[in-house]
Copies of this chain bind each other. A is one copy, B any other.
Amino acid sequence: MKINVMTKVLDANDAWAAENRSFLQLRKMDMVNIIASPGAGKTTFLERTIDLLKDTVRIGVIEGDIATARDAMRIQKKGVPAYQINTGTACHLEANLLNTALKGICAENELDLIFVENIGNLVCPAEFDIGESAKIALLSVTEGDDKVEKYPLLFSEASVLVISKMGLLKHTNFDIDAATAAFRKLNKKAMVFKVDSLEGTGFEPWIEFIRSRIAKQPVSA
């Protein structure tokens, strides 16, 4: 919500985000922030990514949800550490919550890479820097190709756009060219990957992208 204390809140958040960046840099760790609608397939995307990366990269996951520890439990079943944040009512993760989570997950694990699964929301998570090196926007084809224009902040700030649920494309009226063109108007630089997480298709370029980031440690802001 927009109120007159918003600037102060964002200043405090930015200070915590800077602290998180230092924490990660000192440990030569990378942290990426995955943001999408509820049900865009963030957790399934992460599960598949973990399967493909965990033998060569030491991964940890920080899960943000209003309620339940379902997602952290799903991730732990993949054999990697997961830390669940429950915000109760807050619609996004803030950097101070991440600070606690980072210290928690790093106290018990040596890690190269942390995936943060933000709360399912296309609006507020994009407004809060949590100290990540990249925002990964996920957009599922079942959501419609108009979402890029309707939620411009996330899509303009993302370093990567993952178009998900590609296997369902033929059953929808989603127009990949229209969505990509709308995205390019907001964002010239981001990589675009197309995947289906249940089928496990399209992951090679995404995995290659993550591997190349890890090879380039330490993290750049």
Residues of A whose CB lies within 8 Å of any CB of B are 1-3, 5, 9, 37-40, 65-68, 70, 88-92, 94, 119-124, 127, 140, 142-144, 146-147, 149-153, 165, 167-168, 171-173, 198
Q: How many copies does the complex hold?
A: 2
Q: Contacting A5 at CB < 8 Å: which of B5, B89, B153?
A: B5
Pair B143/A39 contact, Cβ less than 8 Å: yes
A123–B119 contact, CB under 8 A? yes
B66 contacts A151, CB within 8 Å?
yes
Q: How far is the CA of A122 from the CA of B124 in the complex (A)?
A: 12
User: What are 17 contact pairs spanning A and B, CB under 8 A?
Assistant: A1-B9, A1-B94, A1-B124, A3-B9, A37-B37, A38-B151, A39-B147, A67-B149, A67-B151, A68-B149, A70-B149, A89-B123, A89-B127, A91-B91, A120-B147, A168-B168, A168-B171
A40–B173 Cα distance when bound, in Å, is 13
Residues of B within 8 A of A127 (CB): 89
Distance (whole angstroms) from the CB of A70 to the closest CB of chain B: 6
Nearest first, the 6 A-B pairs at minimum CB distance are A39-B143, A142-B142, A91-B123, A37-B38, A37-B37, A39-B144
**In angstroms, how far is the closest chain B Cβ from the Cβ of A79?**
21
* A2 to B152 alpha-carbon distance, docked (Å): 24
Do residues A122 and B123 form an inter-chain contact, with CB atoms below 8 A?
no
Distance, CA A37 to CA B38, complexed state (A): 6
Nearest Cβ on chain B to A58's Cβ, whole angstroms: 28
Chain B residues positioned under 8 Å from A171 (CB to CB): 167-168, 171
* Chain B residues whose CB sits within 8 angstroms of the CB of A90 once the complex forms: 1-2
- A81 CB → nearest B CB, Å: 21
Q: A67-B151, A120-B151 are in contact. List 11 more A-B contacts (CB 8 A).
A: A1-B90, A3-B3, A5-B5, A38-B150, A39-B143, A119-B123, A120-B122, A124-B124, A167-B171, A168-B168, A173-B198
